[in-house]
């Protein structure tokens, strides 16, 4: 990465002085790569929520249990969850409004009744601190401020260790963002299990040229190709897909 910065500076100097050497692009190339997603099981999510009960402050326990459950149930980004305000939650309509998310976009998320109940119970928690200043944050820290991503990540690392959630490899380590991957895979798993006969793919993106496919509000992508990054070959998904292929081929296989 440092050599890449030097290349850019060297190219600039080379315009003024042709004798300045520009390091070759194949010398220590910096290849960008993505982490291997960590697909959580339901048991691991439950263990993580249970581990939050070991936190010493009751409100902090309630906040992190609600946060982990919300990420798993909606596929939200951690930054989106932290940015939620109380008016963004409509218990009667069972919706959450995510405002000014990635690229300044907003969307409305439908919630399951259990998620609505959990959020309502959290807001009625007896020891909820008084908000500091004019903050209307839905998820409050133990001192009444909006949560910080760095603090959440630090607490998550400690709790995942207590929950026994271990890396599967050097490139596949449990992250909060992987709950979004897990949500996308579970959504497709549910569609496979419920479908009878032909199954319309419940794409998590605006369909673009595939206008006949429904828009999934939880992920919110303009390009379906961006959503497919969140879909991975989980063993359960491969088993269901393989079964559908066998039924389709019949004796021809």
107: annotated active-site residue: no
Catalytic one of 59, 160, 180, 181: 180
- 81 assigned to some structural domain: yes
DSSP characters over 91-123: TTTTEEEE-S-GGG--EEEE--HHHHHHHHHHH
Residue in 77, 146, 181, 192 annotated catalytic: 77
- What residues contact residue 203 under an 8 Å CB cut-off, 6+ apart? 210, 213, 214, 215, 216, 224, 227
- Of 133, 105, 124, the closest CA to residue 66 belongs to 124
In tens, the pLDDT along 216-244 reads 555 555 565 666 666 666 777 788 778 88
- Is 230 marked active-site? yes
Same domain, 64 and 142: yes
**Could you say which of 11, 102, 105, 112 is catalytic?**
102
Q: Which CATH number characterizes residue 65's domain?
A: 1.10.443.10
How many domains would you assign to the chain? 2
- Of 89 and 133, the structure prediction assigns the larger pLDDT to 89
Q: State the pLDDT at residue 199.
A: 47
The domain boundary residue, chosen from 135, 162, 189: 162
Residues 84 and 154 in one domain: yes
What is the average pLDDT value for the chain, to the nearest integer? Answer: 83
Domain that holds residue 194: 178-248
- Do 51 and 120 lie in one domain? The reply is yes
Is 177 catalytic? The answer is yes
Look up the pTM and report it: 0.75
Q: Which residue has the tokens 């919300």?
A: 70
In the predicted model, what is the mean pLDDT of residues 69-97?
95
**Is residue 221 annotated as a catalytic residue, yes or no?**
yes
Q: Are 234 and 132 found together in one domain?
A: no
List for the chain the helix, strand, coil content (%; round to 5). Answer: 50, 5, 45
């Amino acid at each position: 990465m440092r050599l890449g910065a030097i290349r850019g500076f060297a190219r600039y100097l080379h315009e003024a002085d042709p004798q300045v050497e520009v390091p070759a692009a194949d010398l220590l190339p910096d290849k960008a790569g993505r982490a291997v997603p960590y697909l959580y099981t339901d048991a691991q999510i439950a263990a993580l929520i249970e581990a939050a009960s070991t936190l010493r402050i009751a409100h902090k326990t309630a906040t992190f249990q609600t946060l982990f459950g919300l990420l798993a149930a909606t596929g939200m980004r951690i930054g989106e969850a932290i940015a939620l305000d109380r008016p963004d939650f409509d218990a009667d309509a069972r919706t959450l409004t995510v405002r000014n998310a990635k690229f300044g976009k907003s969307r409305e998320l439908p919630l399951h009744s259990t998620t609505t109940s959990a959020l309502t119970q959290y807001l009625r928690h007896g020891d909820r601190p008084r908000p500091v200043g004019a903050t209307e944050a839905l998820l409050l820290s133990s001192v009444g401020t909006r949560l910080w991503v760095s603090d959440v990540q630090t607490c998550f690392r400690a709790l995942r260790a207590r929950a026994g959630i271990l890396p599967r490899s050097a490139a596949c380590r449990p992250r909060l963002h992987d709950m979004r991957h897990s949500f996308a895979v579970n959504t497709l798993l549910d569609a496979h299990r419920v479908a009878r006969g032909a199954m319309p793919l419940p794409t998590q993106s605006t369909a673009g040229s595939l206008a006949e496919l429904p828009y999934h509000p939880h992920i919110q992508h303009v390009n379906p190709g961006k959503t497919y990054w969140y879909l991975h070959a989980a063993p359960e998904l491969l088993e269901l897909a393989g079964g559908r292929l066998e039924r389709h081929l019949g004796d021809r296989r």
